[in-house]
Structure 1
Amino acid sequence: MPVNLWDVCKERAKSKTVAAGQKDTTLLFLGSKETGKTTLINHFVGKLDEAAKPTLALEYSYCLRQTNNPTGGGNEICHLWELQGGTAFSSLLEAAISIGNIKGLSIILMLDLSQPKILWSTMEILLKDLRSRLTTVLTSSKAKEENLQEELLSNVMARFGDHQEKHQIEPFPVPFVILGSKYDIFQNFDPEEKKVMCRCLRNVAHSLGASLQFYSCKDTVLLKRARDLLSHYAFNTAPLKIMSTDYNKPLVIPAGSDSFSQIDNKGAEEESSSGHNFNLWRHTFTSLFPQEKQEKLDLPDDPAINEKYPEPDVDNLRKQKDEDLQRYLRELERKRTTVADLL
């Protein structure tokens, strides 16, 4: 009698014992273009010899880790979403951030240290889009019923313990990492430029309750630190036990370990909240590095649905492409769900 492979997989999935307290996690990678997101993901999942390929808007993969829990077998799984294109495709965040994965979600914002003239604008646009998507998810009826926002913020604030500036920050409701890439180029910048960039990024990271770390895929030590950082957020492994705030060295600053007073005493005395600090350091950063215009288009209305200017051929092609995109997003979600169910 023929055996249905799909049925076999489902039966094996049902027979597996899930370790007590084991939950799926999700890492969302986004940020500046060509910052090495794919390369870092390949190293994290063990594809050391696989050349990085251009990412198509939004891509999904996963990483497994065998557990040694004495109460049961099974694997831990981390879902990996990679958003490409800098700020161009941030509308696709709805596929990567959902009510189903937000409890185990961590965000990795990768910024190109070698391109300071687009770094701040890229960061600010993506922070705005991320907050918007997270707010949409956490204000849904299901999230309100489960008091998700309060639970997540409580978990994030626990990282700060008795920190004296605990009430001055406005953290993201999920663990957040700012990963500065291409440190191999940045290390050769003018000392004053490095000092300003490091102070500004430290302020932003601390204001958001985020970890800040510098990285280069060409430096084996920094690459290992980045992999260890991802492992901590993906599988709750031990956090890095080092800290570096010297702008002449790669920064390594875990969430909750910095302070406005350590970053700049004058700024800490004059500014009373994270919002004011953010504006202060935006001015400092953009005064030294005027920002170049980004490609993100903020149109008040979608011109494709404007009935005043019908174009049957174009409209039909646009409709087909929209349907293709929706199918692509559904397929990504189906793959994520299937992997989680089978493992």
Structure 2
Amino acid sequence: MILHREKSIWDVAVNECMQREKAKDDADKESSLEGAESNVLIMGSKDAGKTSLILRFLEKEEKPKATIALEYTFGRKAKGHNMNKDIVHIWELGGGTSLSQLIEVPISKSTLLNCSIILVLDLSEPNKLWYTAETLLKAAQDRVEAVIRKASAQNPKIYEEIKSRAWKRIGEQHPDRDVLDPFPLPMVILGMKYDLFQNLESEKRKLIARTLRFLAHNYGASLQFCSSKMENLMSKGKQQLGHLAFGTSVSIKQGVQDHNKPISITAGSDGMDVIGLPPVKGDDIGRGNARTPLELWKQAFTAVFPQEAVEKEMAADPSKDPQYRESAVDNVRAQKDKELEKYKKKLERKAKTNQLAGQMGDVS
């Protein structure tokens, strides 16, 4: 006799996921035949416009919804008159810094050489900006280094290859070469909510802009200020994503370095002599523990904008969110909830019966 085990909610969910993955894999194989593939990880400040950027890039007319953890989507682009299409796998990390451990999913041995990063920072919340950037960049750096160590077993030259690529993005003969620390993967820093940022005091805007220019230059990243409320700036953000995804050009005729305007600087085009020294007094430098330019800028920035502790809030229960409805899973869940309620009532009746029996025994 064959026993059929009743399917659990987990079984249904896993089956649903496997079906979707198979459909996606089939689509990828069909569309990306001989086409290039790339991976873009978008991470950064919470509620700063990461989802809005992705939706605009994919030309989807949808209302942005909160990202629970790590979400995946993809886009395709035709290669001229060729039937083949390039494909980009887009990973969005939600939760600000609270789920940084999920970075290990999009950054792996199979994606290392075609992966890039967009770091989205909320310009209107400078008291969280440095902490967010520092936490996520460290998590990404640690992950990349761990993957390189594993990949080196099969490809001993992979570290040198990645390092060489990083310096080519900046310029191998850049005058700041001795003081820069290029990030292993291509990176763009997007300063979002420029519409709110421009209302800050001039000196505060100047410090934020100069600090982000330093961060971008230090890591060999491009820097672009954006706002989902300003279409002309959002289009620049889309161009940056398109460049990482498909290698399309970014139309920056001339870099913008003025803090009174939306900053727009390509990787390797800035300079320490132009950015200037961090606004730290000589006495403060002697009293501080800063040993590198990065630590000096951190000291200067956090002195004006003390960093707030970013709470690791638990997201709302996704099972209650309409955007995550799955009919098969929800039906089983509803059935199990009813069965649980019946079981609880049965236990309550049994407890009352036992209690009455005990009381009658005491009376007798």
Per the shorter chain, which TM-score range?
0.7 to 0.9
Alpha carbons of structure 1 residues 41 and 9: separation in structure 2 relative to 1, 3 Å:
closer
Aligned to 1:55: 67
Note the C-alpha offset of 1:122. 1.1
1:13-63 Cα deviation digits (max 9, x unpaired): 8787844xx42011100001001100110000110x211111120000001
Q: 1:136 aligns with which of 143, 146, 161?
A: 146
SS at match of 2:168: helix
Decide whether the 8 Å contact of 1:209 with 1:255 is kept in 2: yes
Decide whether the 8 Å contact of 1:138 with 1:144 is kept in 2: no
Amino acid at match of 1:286: T
Decide whether the 8 Å contact of 1:64 with 1:77 is kept in 2: yes
SS at match of 1:256: coil
Q: Determine whether 1:35 maps to 2:44.
A: no
Q: 1:120 aligns with which of 125, 130, 138?
A: 130
Amino acid at match of 2:138: K
Q: 1:45 aligns with which of 27, 35, 58?
A: 58
Decide whether the 8 Å contact of 1:137 with 1:143 is kept in 2: no
Note the C-alpha offset of 1:295. 2.4
Query: What stretches of structure 2 of length at least 5 have no aligned partner?
Result: 1-20, 314-364
Count matched residues: 284
Structure 1 segment 301-316 matched on structure 2, within 5 A: none
Matches of 1:16 and 1:111 in 2, distance apart?
A: 33
Alpha carbons of structure 1 residues 8 and 249: separation in structure 2 relative to 1, 3 Å:
closer
Q: 2:176 aligns with which of 158, 165, 170?
A: 165
Matches of 1:86 and 1:28 in 2, distance apart?
A: 13
So what's the TM-score if we normalise by structure 2? 0.72
Matches of 2:98 and 2:24 in 1, distance apart?
A: 38
Amino acid at match of 1:93: I
Decide whether the 8 Å contact of 1:26 with 1:234 is kept in 2: yes
Decide whether the 8 Å contact of 1:143 with 1:149 is kept in 2: no
Bigger relative contact order, structure 1 or 2, given CA contacts below 8 A and separation 6+? 1
Decide whether the 8 Å contact of 2:36 with 2:85 is kept in 1: no
1:103-136 Cα deviation digits (max 9, x unpaired): 1111000000001111111111111111111111
Q: Determine whether 1:285 maps to 2:295.
A: no
Amino acid at match of 2:304: L
Alpha carbons of structure 1 residues 247 and 60: separation in structure 2 relative to 1, 3 Å:
same
Q: 2:230 aligns with which of 200, 214, 219?
A: 219
Aligned to 1:75: 85
CA radius of gyration, larger in: 2
Structure 1 segment 149-228 matched on structure 2, within 5 A: 149-161=159-171, 162-228=173-239
So what's the TM-score if we normalise by structure 1? 0.76
Aligned to 1:313: none
Percent of paired sites with the same residue? 40
Matches of 2:25 and 2:189 in 1, distance apart?
A: 39
Q: Determine whether 1:260 maps to 2:233.
A: no
Aligned to 1:26: 39
Matches of 2:31 and 2:41 in 1, distance apart?
A: 27
Q: Determine whether 1:248 maps to 2:260.
A: yes
Matches of 1:135 and 1:15 in 2, distance apart?
A: 33
Matches of 1:36 and 1:17 in 2, distance apart?
A: 29
Query: C-alpha root-mean-square deviation of aligned residues, in Å?
Result: 2.8
Decide whether the 8 Å contact of 1:87 with 1:295 is kept in 2: no
Note the C-alpha offset of 1:147. 2.0
Matches of 2:259 and 2:247 in 1, distance apart?
A: 28
Matches of 1:223 and 1:124 in 2, distance apart?
A: 25
Decide whether the 8 Å contact of 2:42 with 2:117 is kept in 1: yes
SS at match of 2:292: helix
Matches of 1:281 and 1:208 in 2, distance apart?
A: 14
Matches of 2:237 and 2:200 in 1, distance apart?
A: 22
Amino acid at match of 1:31: G
Q: Determine whether 1:276 maps to 2:282.
A: no
Decide whether the 8 Å contact of 2:109 with 2:151 is kept in 1: no
Aligned to 1:233: 244
Amino acid at match of 1:40: L
Note the C-alpha offset of 1:9. 10
Alpha carbons of structure 1 residues 265 and 89: separation in structure 2 relative to 1, 3 Å:
closer
